Amino acid sequence: MDIVEHALTVPHDDADEGTYDGGCGCEGFLATPVRGGEAGVLVLAGSSGRIEVERCRILAREGLTALSVRWFGGPGQPPGICEVPLETFVAATGLLRSRGARRIGVLGVSKGAEAALHLSVLHPGTDAVVALSPTSLTWANVGPGRDGQTRPYRSSWTWRGEPLPFVPYDDRWTPAQPEGAPVSVLDWYERSRRTFADRVGAATIPVERSAADLLVVAGGDDAMWPSLRAAEELAARRRAAGRPVRVVARADAGHRVRFPGEGPAPASTLFLHGGSPAADAALGAAAWPYVLDVLRGAV
């Protein structure tokens, strides 16, 4: 399907003027089918902070209006994932509606999935969520806040100017890998959850309150955080509340799910992500039909 591409800046959402310290005004990339489409999707990267240009393109070729934005690290934004206003994403979904989208989905990976899940709970304009390699908890900041500091730990997110409850990191943790080698931080998250068990209840993402359709995709060999455990926890909360959910999982896949049309994720010198190019692509291929169905509303 032929598509049209636009580099743009997402304007501030006037509906939220004065209700929080932040806004959008963020750099973005929009890919639209030439003939338009009634379903729009906001595509959120994880802690890489990148704009997901290629992922938008493959979604647009399937008839979806796809927008990706830089939600931290840009002008006027926190330099890290630290107290990022979730209203940033409200403004982005508003742009999709202004382009004719009647159904709004959010597809996020890792920290982007954390944001997508919260948005679906807090903002009723979210119709569908695809959470890739998700968490079931709100975690502390990754990187510095607007003050340039990484400590003390603060929430990754705010809503209406208030930080969401979060689980801090246990700084007594040390990586098992040799110095200079790529690191798995999976055990850091698991240890932090145990250390701060008293914070878990308040930090649990209440997906049972979300009216959005939910698809969760996770690999059992994720070396970044326990995304398959999180997927199962999210699904259990949804089912207990009688809400729809689908989980697509693969035991040998890692943190970086790859869809048909996407090449392997680039090798990292900093982190171990788990899985393999073949397993990550196989999980993406298995999930792809369900991704399109939930975003289009064919569920």
pLDDT value, residue 154: 98
pLDDT value, residue 13: 60
3-class secondary structure per residue, the chain: CCEEEEEEEECCCHHHCCCCCCCCCEEEEEEEECCCCCEEEEEECCCCCCCCHHHHHHHHCCCCEEEEECCCCCCCCCCCECCEECHHHHHHHHHHHHCCCCEEEEEEECHHHHHHHHHHHHCCCCCEEEEECCCCECEECECCCCCCCCCCCCECEEECCEECCCECCCCCCCCCCCCCCCECCHHHHHHHHHHCHHHHHHHECCHHHCCCEEEEEEECCCCCCCHHHHHHHHHHHHHHCCCCCEEEEECCCCCCCCCCCCCCCCCCCCECCCCCHHHHHHHHHHHHHHHHHHHHCCC
Domain ranges within the chain, ordered by starting residue: 3-296
Please check the confidence at residue 18 and state whether its pLDDT lies above 50: no
Per-residue pLDDT tens over the stretch 113-134 = 999 999 999 999 999 999 999 9
Q: Which CATH class is domain 3-296?
A: alpha beta
Q: What percent of the chain has pLDDT over 70?
A: 96
Please check the confidence at residue 161 and state whether its pLDDT lies above 70: yes
As a whole number, mean pLDDT of residues 239-250 equals: 97
Per-residue pLDDT tens over the stretch 27-53 = 999 999 998 889 999 999 999 989 999
Q: How confident is the model at residue 11 (pLDDT cuts 50, 70, 90)?
A: confident
